[in-house]
Amino acid sequence: MSQQKFQAALNEHIKVVNTISTDMGEDLPVLARKIVEGFTRERRLVFAGSGAMGAAADLAAHLFRHRLSFDRPLLPAMSIGRDSLLAHSLARDSAYEEYFSRQLLALGLKDDMVVFFADSHRDPALTEGVRLCQDLGCLSALLVCGKGEGVVDGADFTLQVDTTSVARGLESAVLFATLLCELVEHELFGV
């Protein structure tokens, strides 16, 4: 039985990787170039993730701040979404939808870049975060891992991985982050 489970999970992983290759093959390099343009204009890159996708946002920011596979200067990236006190206070006040937007406003974002990671659940905080990006003139990208019908509208880039597995969604978010970082590093440093 465990061999069948392993093979099914591996087959779905391969399907997700193929989907990323075919469905994002054109959009991901364009997004990377936009991020490079932002960095050359001294803009920041912020990652935000809903639920378990917050871990992928943290990892993505780390890859940009530190390094992926070679020593290089840090890139101005950060993640938001780990402020448990703010989350609790907003939930208590029935204002959870302000969770990401309050953090983005506190950073003073104007013309910066924000990448949101979402699973298939509708998250009002993501919706409000994307809306705020539109209002502030920030470039916004959304990676949706799951069916995600009606998750969020209005991002400059929306990339979707169709999977029902939380594990495959997290894997695809990490793959997306590493590919994005590699493309940006290539554009900036020629590696």
Q: Express each pLDDT in 58-109 by its tens digit.
A: 999 999 999 888 899 999 999 998 888 998 999 999 999 999 999 999 987 7
Q: Which residues contact 133 (CB under 8 A, 6 or more apart)?
A: 104, 109, 114, 139, 140, 155
| Residue 162 pLDDT grade (very low, low, confident, very high; cuts 50, 70, 90) | confident
DSSP state of 121: S
Mean pLDDT of 22-49: 94
Domain count, the chain: 1
- Provide the CATH number for the domain around residue 110: 3.40.50.10490
User: Distance between CA 191 and CA 182 in Å, rounded?
Assistant: 8
Token pair in block for residue 15 = 């399907």
What are the structure tokens assigned to 79, written together? 């993640």
* The dihedral sign for the CA sequence 178, 183, 184, 186: positive
Question: Distance (Å, rounded) from C-alpha 97 to C-alpha 102?
Answer: 9
Mean pLDDT: which of 5-9, 119-123, 133-137, 177-181 is highest? Answer: 177-181
The predicted pLDDT at position 157 comes to 92
Per-residue confidence (pLDDT) for residue 149, from 0 to 100: 59
Structural domain of residue 47, as residue ranges? 2-189
Q: What pLDDT, on the 0 to 100 scale, is given for residue 45?
A: 97
Does residue 1 surpass a pLDDT of 70?
A: no
